[in-house]
Amino acid sequence: MTVDSFDKLLALNAYQPIPDDWYVLVADVINSTSAIANNRYQDVNTLGASVIIAVLNACNRLEIPYIFGGDGASLCVPPDCLEPALAALKGTAAISESAYNLKLRTGFVPVAVLSAQGIPLLVSKLRLSDTAVQASFTGGGLQIAEYWLKQETERYSIPDYIPAEADFSGLQCRWDRIPSPKSETVAILIEARCETLEQQSQMYQNVLLKIAEIYGTQQEHHPLQADKMRMTLSQDKLRAEQRLFSTGKSVFYKLYYFIKMRVIAMVGSFMMQHNVNISGFNWGQYKMDMIANSDHRKFDDMLRMVLAGTPEQREQLEAYFESEHKAGRLYYGVSVSEAALLTCLIFQTGTEHFHFVDGADGGYALAATQLKRQKYEQSLQKNSV
């Protein structure tokens, strides 16, 4: 089912069940918090996006619903796509260690196993533009699958007979950090603590209304603004992509890729600045298309948003979150930076593309640390009663 506005994603009637013969694929960077502390969030972010593009390429870009979490990703695949998708996961885990010296936890859970235990996994899609849709999930199935993978890694691990084969074609990380159009960029995570899906749906709708009350309309709080977006020539910024595509290659190939990224960045910047028209497409429109095809707000058993605003707005929002948290209605995490981070999937240059938005300097991963700490403290309180 596809809806045409984000607020409709928070209503249960927008969702339908994932078929029982499908599978949930999960991947996340182990000890991502330590990597972020060492100023490696671009690497962590790139790996999370690499999982998605590798699986999409392996499955010939079928209708594969997925969600990007900053330091990882979750996807749902049909049975005939399972083995190539697992090979893509395995290949991404291999490049994670060889190129980035980071470990990627990967695995898969049959939807039938979730269903057998009464755990729903529901999916919906949001139409962003003529060429882009964004998946959303509810029911708890994705969170449970990730939890099971962490608790029983061997049970849900990828079989040894699956080869490691990953194609990352289409992934690009060539945009500089995008300064907040206001004072700061904030990554937030909200997880409702209600007992039923109906109550959770209402809780998320209330939160979205409160965000609109404090931050204004989507246009007012969107973290991407065209006049702030610049392609980069910085080696530090481009290193994550270069590692992905040139690790294990010859010195000549590494030099070629080094030059290629910069030439494309310079040509692209020129075309966008001068409104160059090629095959009927005006490159002066590209940044606006990027903004439309971005996931600065999404939903997967929790509300994820990247917002531009002021410290005063954030403090007001955090006060609301804290009040609701103390009342036992939600968990939350907030991470503050001065910019947004962009990772791009380019399926067809100029016309078909999708863009993952996160807060710089930790974004969703750091917000998740705060949220997980709240859940841990709550579990301690329950156990002490």
Looking at residues 294-299, what average pLDDT do you find? 96
pTM (2 d.p.): 0.94
Q: In this structure, is residue 256 part of a structural domain?
A: no
Residue partners of 239: CB distance under 8 A and separation at least 6: 42
Q: What is the pLDDT of residues 206-256, one digit of tens each?
A: 999 999 999 999 999 999 999 999 999 888 889 999 999 999 999 999 999
Q: What is the pLDDT of residue 246?
A: 94
Range of the domain at 188: 2-227+288-384
Residue with tokens 């209330």: 206
Is there a domain that residue 58 lies in?
yes
Is the pLDDT at 173 greater than 90? The verdict is: no
Distance CA 274, CA 27 (A): 40
| Inside any domain, residue 262 | no
Structural domain includes residue 245: no
Structure tokens at 215: 């931050």
Residue corresponding to tokens 């998320």: 204
pLDDT band for position 123 (50/70/90)? very high
Assess contact for 364 and 70: CB atoms under 8 A.
yes
Q: What is the pLDDT of residue 385?
A: 55
CB 8 within 8 A of CB 204: no
pLDDT averaged over every residue in the chain: 94
Residue 302 lies in a domain: yes
What distance in Å separates the CA atoms of residue 247 and residue 255, rounded to the nearest whole number?
12
Least confident range of 154-158, 177-181, 257-261, 350-354: 350-354
Residue indicated by tokens 């969030």: 41
Task: Kindly state whether residue 299 falls inside one of the protein's structural domains.
Answer: yes
Question: Does a structural domain hold residue 272?
Answer: no
CA distance 35 to 28: 13
CA dist 308 and 212 (Å) reads 12
Best CA proximity match to 59, nearest among 76, 35, 39: 76
Q: For residue range 309-344, list pLDDT tens digits in order.
A: 999 999 999 999 999 999 999 999 999 999 999 999
Q: What is the reported pLDDT for 384?
A: 66
Does the pLDDT at position 281 exceed 90?
no
Average pLDDT over residues 358-381: 91
Answer whether residue 38 is part of any domain.
yes
Between helix 41-58 and helix 82-100 the angle, nearest 10°, is 150
Q: How far is CA 12 from CA 9, 36, 150, 222, 313, in A?
A: 8, 35, 28, 25, 29
Q: Give the pLDDT score at 127.
A: 95
The size of the chain, in residues, is: 385
**Residue 130 pLDDT more than 80?**
yes
Q: How far apart are alpha carbons 87 and 216 in whole angstroms?
A: 44
Residues 261-295: b if buried by 16+ CB within 10 A, e if exposed: bbeebeebbebbeeeeeeeeeebeebbebbbebbb
pLDDT tier, 33 (very low <50, low <70, confident <90, very high otherwise): confident
Contact between 311 and 183 under an 8 Å Cβ cutoff? The reply is yes
**Can you tell me the mean pLDDT for 188-201?**
94
Across residues 193-213, what is the average pLDDT? 94
pLDDT reported for residue 57: 95
Task: Tally the domains of the chain.
Answer: 1
What's the pLDDT at 125? Answer: 96
Supply the pLDDT for residue 287. 95
Specify the pLDDT at position 142.
94
pLDDT band at residue 308 using 50, 70 and 90 as cut-offs: very high
Q: Which residues contact 382 (CB under 8 A, 6 or more apart)?
A: none
pLDDT in tens, 60-118: 877 899 999 988 999 999 999 999 999 999 999 999 999 999 999 999 999 999 999 99
